[in-house]
Chain A
Amino acid sequence: LVGLDDLDDGATINITGILENKNSNVNSNDSGNCNNPGEIVITTDSHVITPAFFPDSNIGRLAVSGTVNDLAVMGAEPLALTCAMIVPEGFELSSFEKIVRSMSEAAEEVDVPIITGDTKTVERNGLDSIIINTTGIGIANEVIRDCGLCTGDKIILTGTIGDHGISLLAHREGFELTTDLVSDVAPLWNMLKDVVQIRTIEGKPAISAMKDPTRGGLAGTLNEMAQKSGTGISIEQKDLPIKEAVSSACEMLGIDPLEVANEGKAVICVKAENAEEVLSIIREHEYGKDAAIIGEATEENLGKVLMRTPIGSMRYVDPPTGDLIPRIC
């Protein structure tokens, strides 16, 4: 168990050792990669969530998964995490311990140490819940960005959408949804580590872009990718993995499941020739068993996302505005 109080000294990472270890594992026949020492990737994120405990999980697992996933979707193996916690005065010790235990479990799952950390307590009226900042350092052979999407690439979604946001909302507001829906929060590196190595016949990376559809949901993520990459995106509504419980809850509440946050999913854009291979690897993993190819990048409608509805027509998937504005006359 990681106790944060033991971690407030500075820590070191033996980059050279890591690189040597890494290069010895790399297949020497892998042409494009021989002399590539890799790139160091660093990311930081502060996590606040109300409530701190939600179905099946808590803010601790979220804080580790969030940062691990930010690294993972850039194609980076997480090497180490740091953690800073700000806790309101009087926060229950047992809750705090649960959170720390969850962090530790999530970190162990992807084999990444939390190497330095800090805890501060602040006055209760300055804060109503715990805040956790995590910084992650990782290494990637080739960094994957969310702007690398090319026309013709297939888009894979690694699992069902909306589980996190809907279960959290139902739990927070006390909605009687009569389902056992739980958050999907999970660190995804183990699921993604093999597919980031896959190459096309020409030896180029098969994955052209990747992103985790957290805040803003799938709609926000796809729009951002289309805009940054300068392509269009078209998806098939019928191919979107979504749990019946989520879609009926969304209908009851009037929420678009495409705009709901996820914490254990990735959107993977992959060269068409490698799409099936990537999909089958993802599906072997427990977090990816519901993965599906949901669409592709298009030459038309640059910067926009279109979805074919079950009745056969197309509609724009707009970037979420945060407001619900009716339009039916």
Chain B
Amino acid sequence: MQTQCRKINVSGVVQGVGFRPFVHHIAIENGLCGYVKNTGNDVEIVSEGKKENIERFLHELQSKRPPLASVDQIRTKVSRVSGFSNFSILDSEQDESARSIIPPDTAICSDCLRDMYDSKDRHFHYPFTSCTNCGPRYSLVSSLPFDRGNTSMDQFPLCTECSLEYKFPSDRRFHAQATCCPECGPVLSFTNCSGDVLASGHDAILRCAELIDEGSIVAIKGYGGFHLVCDATSDSAVLNLRDSLNRSAQPFAVMAKDIDTVSSFACINAEESSLLQSRQLPIVVLDKNGDFSLSSHIAPDLHNMGVMLPYSGTHHLLFDNTDSAVYVMTSANLPGLPMLTDSEEALSDLSRIADHFLLHNYVIRNRIDDSVIRLINGKKAFIRRSRGFVPERIELPFSIESVIGVGPELNTTVTLAKDNNAYISQYIGNTSHFETAQYHKQVISDLERLTKINPYRWGCDLHPEFNTTRFAQEQGGNRTVFVQHHYAHIVSLMVDNLLPADSRIIGIALDGAGYGEDGTIWGGEVFEATYSGYERVAHLMEQSMPGGDMAAIYPSRMVLGMLHDVLEPEELRELPLYFRHGESERNVVLQQLERNVNLVRTSSFARVLDSAAALLGISHYRSYQGEPAMKLESVARDGVHDLDLPVVCKRGVLDTTSLLYGLYERLDSHDVRDLAYSIEDALAVGVAELAVSAAKKRSIDVIGLSGGVAYNEHITGRICEVVKDSGFEFLTHNRIPCGDGGVSLGQAVVAGYSERRS
């Protein structure tokens, strides 16, 4: 039989994951000659041999693949036979394509853990042990291709033994760019807050574990940045941490030694258990269980909390040597600023917060926070999509030109997209802070370099005062596309569900605030949406926010705004509310409402939840994002009786004043848990009914939900129920955050879609 030749291009996550040795292996098995090499961000294969062998090879390329690899596309073309005599792995080559990308950071694998615990292996007790199947990736990389020279490991030349493994095709560490050992790799050191080294290597682990057990707060440098760590069972340690961070109530995530330990303080169902132990090892939001034994200050007044398992060698070694099986493990940052990644900066910025530091000596190139996932009615919802997932490709349902979405302001991400590929960045944070806005710019340039996408159009929020909007305008000029916030949410939902280009849905977007086309603040919206535009078909009643954002921070102000027209002045004065400046503030707010001074109109859904939380005495101050609504959810969870609050919809507007008034009327006669449950329920039903009636009127059979309120399990579940009972298909998010972390993708796609048509 005649020898044939195929030139094959593979795109996907194919670099830094042992893909070339895998190709080498199956080529040899099939008796093929030729080569494999990394191009810019694809893998190129030339294979020569018998036709059926090539075909089996092509099949195995897709069916076998190494654990971390994912293949998006294989393009094959017939080529001229050049008569190779063997199959070889060639060096990498630069290229300008934008189809593949480096893999996310991955938890240490079981093989490497075995090496780390084997006293005869040279990786014994070495926390940076990694191989082609595990370890940090994205956080190490500065540019493509993913070669050691383009990573932080370039400062650590391989020793003889590591080098042998690195060069031997059948070794697990063949071309493992981050491989290293105690001989040649980074080292741990344990320091006091002035940076004096107290111990290094394995002793650093031992001292660190010992001091955490004694109640110290330690800043630990990890994969993508610093964590602040303390014993999660110690009230005094947790309170110390709260004090020094000035974080009165924001929940802390914890890391538990193993899954059995988790089940000692949290409820885990089968799905949550597999999510907790999935290869990304994200933070999973779990309900606390009945005999919760951790400090009550970890997630005060909430029924749930974020939990993760050890993912780095350092974590495993710490838990081997500690008495505390659960650590608080929270991103180390000053309020509103990005997580710290640099040792020097951490030593200076955290010196008043951490007692000690556990440092390593390689550079973190890309900051990356832990991912946070919550199961909502059995479906995975990303609260934060970062470590373990970024920069994985998001497949788009159609092809678009090169675009960027710069995101909104809080919890922002950026998205670069081209063809049918989108890359959502890691969590960036609150860009109203200058330092975070600088980081936002940095992420854009890093991601441009790694994806080789050079955006033509710039999608941004409609809010004129966001730093992200200003930046997009500076960069994009007349190629800037302003995308209404909730429309971006709905488009991200359509993309998430791979709806084709001509789709039309009824989209429900529920969140705190987005600048509306009419200059008011939207947040409880029902849209008829396509990829090319939308119509606002229904929304919550517009309410006054006295003093703008002050009404979001102190929800009692919002209560006065909502009830001002239905209660007498004496009744308003007697409402059980809290004002920072006491009764004189209540009077000022009432005067503001009376005289229309500094009021803003809003149809926000979250502000109604906040108001309910304030009226029910559950929460009076927002010290972290979503606090009043989250605390309301925790109380509502124990509600059993639906109190039939009046759900009144007129001409596409849900009357939220009637709902809150209904709550007011029942304040003295009912249990707070039932009241909380009932208002969530009534709001959900009201919004769902608005959507269903719009869908009927417009003969649309798909209804979807997006926006940060979708993290509320009760509300999402209830909307789903009403929509499905009415015979409509119901869409929620799956791959993309429903909160503001998904907005950049919606912006990018809207910008790209407008380009596509012109």
Q: Tell me the A residues contacting B by CB distance below 8 Å.
A: 169, 173-178, 248-249, 251-255, 306, 311-316, 318, 321, 323-329
Among the listed B409, B433, B466, B552, which residue makes an inter-chain contact with A313, where contact means beta carbons less than 8 Å apart? B433
A39 CA to B73 CA, complexed, in Å = 75
Question: Which 7 pairs, one residue from A and one from B, show the smallest C-beta to C-beta distance?
Answer: A254-B547, A314-B434, A329-B512, A254-B550, A328-B552, A326-B548, A324-B548
- Chain A contact residues: over half helix, strand or loop, or mixed? loop
Q: Would A173 and B409 be within 8 Å (CB), given that A254-B548, A254-B549, A254-B598 are in contact?
A: no
Q: Find out whether the CB atom of B434 lies under 8 angstroms from the CB atom of A306.
A: yes
A323 CA to B600 CA, complexed, in Å = 9
Q: Find out whether the CB atom of B597 lies under 8 angstroms from the CB atom of A173.
A: yes
A178 CA to B585 CA, complexed, in Å = 10
Q: Which of B420-466 contact A (CB under 8 A)?
A: 432-435, 437, 463-466
A99 CA to B410 CA, complexed, in Å = 50
A-B pairs with beta carbons under 8 Å apart, 21 shown: A169-B597, A176-B587, A177-B584, A254-B549, A306-B434, A311-B246, A312-B334, A313-B433, A315-B433, A321-B465, A324-B547, A325-B464, A325-B521, A325-B548, A326-B513, A327-B463, A327-B466, A328-B410, A329-B410, A329-B511, A329-B513
A327 CA to B432 CA, complexed, in Å = 9
Q: Find out whether the CB atom of A311 lies under 8 angstroms from the CB atom of B595.
A: no
Q: Please name 14 further chain A to chain B contacts, defined as beta carbons within 8 Å, in addition to the given A176-B588, A252-B585, A329-B513, sorted by A numbering.
A: A251-B581, A253-B597, A312-B334, A313-B434, A316-B432, A325-B464, A327-B410, A327-B432, A327-B466, A328-B549, A328-B553, A329-B511, A329-B625, A329-B740
B43 to chain A, nearest CB (A): 41
A177 CA to B591 CA, complexed, in Å = 11
Q: At the interface, yes or no: B546 with Cβ under 8 Å from chain A?
A: yes
A320 CA to B465 CA, complexed, in Å = 10
Q: At the interface, yes or no: B515 with Cβ under 8 Å from chain A?
A: yes
Task: Find chain A residues with CB under 8 A from B549 CB.
Answer: 254, 326-328
Most buried by B among A177, A252, A313, A323: A252
Most buried by B among A251, A253, A311: A253
Q: Would A253 and B588 be within 8 Å (CB), given that A326-B513, A328-B553 are in contact?
A: yes
Q: Find out whether the CB atom of B521 lies under 8 angstroms from the CB atom of A326.
A: yes
Q: Would A315 and B521 be within 8 Å (CB), given that A253-B547, A328-B552, A329-B740 are in contact?
A: no
Q: Would A173 and B435 be within 8 Å (CB), given that A253-B598, A254-B550 are in contact?
A: no
Task: Find chain A residues with CB under 8 A from B708 CB.
Answer: 329
A323 CA to B599 CA, complexed, in Å = 10
A113 CA to B587 CA, complexed, in Å = 46
B338 to chain A, nearest CB (A): 10
A178 to chain B, nearest CB (A): 5
Most buried by B among A178, A315, A327: A327
B231 to chain A, nearest CB (A): 26
Q: At the interface, yes or no: B408 with Cβ under 8 Å from chain A?
A: yes
A276 to chain B, nearest CB (A): 28
Q: Find out whether the CB atom of B408 lies under 8 angstroms from the CB atom of A329.
A: yes
A174 CA to B466 CA, complexed, in Å = 34
Q: Which of B703-732 contact A (CB under 8 A)?
A: 708
Q: Find out whether the CB atom of A313 lies under 8 angstroms from the CB atom of B515.
A: no
Q: Tell me the B residues contacting A by CB distance below 8 Å.
A: 246, 334-337, 408-411, 432-435, 437, 463-467, 511-515, 519, 521, 545-553, 580-581, 584-585, 587-589, 591-592, 595, 597-598, 600, 602, 606, 622, 625, 708, 740
B593 to chain A, nearest CB (A): 12
Task: Find chain B residues with CB under 8 A from A169 CB.
Answer: 597
Q: Would A316 and B467 be within 8 Å (CB), given that A311-B335, A326-B549, A327-B432 are in contact?
A: yes
Q: Would A174 and B464 be within 8 Å (CB), given that A313-B434, A329-B708 are in contact?
A: no
Q: How many A-B residue pairs have CB under 8 A?
A: 114
Task: Find chain B residues with CB under 8 A from A248 CB.
Answer: 581
- Nearest-CB residue, chain A, relative to B606: A329
A173 CA to B593 CA, complexed, in Å = 11
A281 CA to B531 CA, complexed, in Å = 64
Q: Would A311 and B334 be within 8 Å (CB), given that A177-B584, A254-B547 are in contact?
A: yes
A173 CA to B246 CA, complexed, in Å = 37
Task: Find chain B residues with CB under 8 A from A313 CB.
Answer: 334-337, 433-435
Most buried by A among B335, B435, B598, B625: B598
Q: Find out whether the CB atom of A326 lies under 8 angstroms from the CB atom of B552.
A: yes
Q: Would A327 and B465 be within 8 Å (CB), given that A173-B591, A254-B598, A315-B434 are in contact?
A: yes
Task: Find chain A residues with CB under 8 A from B335 CB.
Answer: 311, 313
- Nearest-CB residue, chain B, relative to A249: B588
A257 to chain B, nearest CB (A): 13
Q: Find out whether the CB atom of A324 lies under 8 angstroms from the CB atom of B432.
A: no
A315 CA to B431 CA, complexed, in Å = 9
Most buried by B among A252, A306, A329: A329
Q: Would A253 and B592 be within 8 Å (CB), given that A306-B434, A311-B336, A324-B600 are in contact?
A: yes
Q: Find out whether the CB atom of B591 lies under 8 angstroms from the CB atom of A254.
A: no
Most buried by B among A169, A312, A326: A326
Q: Find out whether the CB atom of B600 lies under 8 angstroms from the CB atom of A326.
A: yes
- Nearest-CB residue, chain A, relative to B589: A252
Task: Find chain A residues with CB under 8 A from B435 CB.
Answer: 313-314
Q: Find out whether the CB atom of A326 lies under 8 angstroms from the CB atom of B545.
A: yes
Q: Find out whether the CB atom of B512 lies under 8 angstroms from the CB atom of A254.
A: no
Among the listed A174, A314, A315, A327, which residue makes an inter-chain contact with B591, where contact means beta carbons less than 8 Å apart? A174
Q: Find out whether the CB atom of B334 lies under 8 angstroms from the CB atom of A329.
A: no
B246 to chain A, nearest CB (A): 7
- Nearest-CB residue, chain A, relative to B595: A173
A288 CA to B334 CA, complexed, in Å = 35
Task: Find chain A residues with CB under 8 A from B600 CB.
Answer: 324-326
Q: Find out whether the CB atom of B545 lies under 8 angstroms from the CB atom of A251.
A: no
Q: Would A177 and B434 be within 8 Å (CB), given that A251-B581, A326-B552, A329-B411 are in contact?
A: no
Among the listed A315, A324, A325, which residue makes an inter-chain contact with B515, where contact means beta carbons less than 8 Å apart? A325
A121 CA to B521 CA, complexed, in Å = 45
Q: Find out whether the CB atom of A252 lies under 8 angstroms from the CB atom of B547.
A: yes
Most buried by B among A254, A255, A306, A321: A254
- Nearest-CB residue, chain A, relative to B408: A329
A178 CA to B591 CA, complexed, in Å = 14
Task: Find chain B residues with CB under 8 A from A249 CB.
Answer: 588
A301 to chain B, nearest CB (A): 8
A233 to chain B, nearest CB (A): 13
Q: Find out whether the CB atom of A314 lies under 8 angstroms from the CB atom of B546.
A: no
- Nearest-CB residue, chain B, relative to A325: B465
Among the listed A176, A318, A326, which residue makes an inter-chain contact with B584, where contact means beta carbons less than 8 Å apart? A176
- Nearest-CB residue, chain A, relative to B590: A176
A252 CA to B583 CA, complexed, in Å = 11
A53 CA to B465 CA, complexed, in Å = 35
Most buried by B among A176, A306, A313: A313
B313 to chain A, nearest CB (A): 33
B367 to chain A, nearest CB (A): 16
Task: Find chain A residues with CB under 8 A from B410 CB.
Answer: 327-329
A249 CA to B589 CA, complexed, in Å = 11
Task: Find chain B residues with CB under 8 A from A311 CB.
Answer: 246, 334-336
Among the listed A178, A255, A306, which residue makes an inter-chain contact with B598, where contact means beta carbons less than 8 Å apart? A255
A178 CA to B583 CA, complexed, in Å = 11
Q: Find out whether the CB atom of A321 lies under 8 angstroms from the CB atom of B464.
A: yes
A329 CA to B589 CA, complexed, in Å = 21
B429 to chain A, nearest CB (A): 11
- Nearest-CB residue, chain A, relative to B739: A329
Among the listed A252, A314, A316, A318, which residue makes an inter-chain contact with B588, where contact means beta carbons less than 8 Å apart? A252
- Nearest-CB residue, chain A, relative to B349: A312
Q: Find out whether the CB atom of A254 lies under 8 angstroms from the CB atom of B463.
A: no
Q: Find out whether the CB atom of B602 lies under 8 angstroms from the CB atom of A327.
A: no
A81 CA to B295 CA, complexed, in Å = 72
A326 CA to B546 CA, complexed, in Å = 11
- Nearest-CB residue, chain B, relative to A248: B581
B317 to chain A, nearest CB (A): 33
Task: Find chain B residues with CB under 8 A from A324 CB.
Answer: 547-548, 598, 600
A312 CA to B336 CA, complexed, in Å = 10
- Nearest-CB residue, chain A, relative to B461: A327
A178 CA to B622 CA, complexed, in Å = 27
A175 CA to B597 CA, complexed, in Å = 10
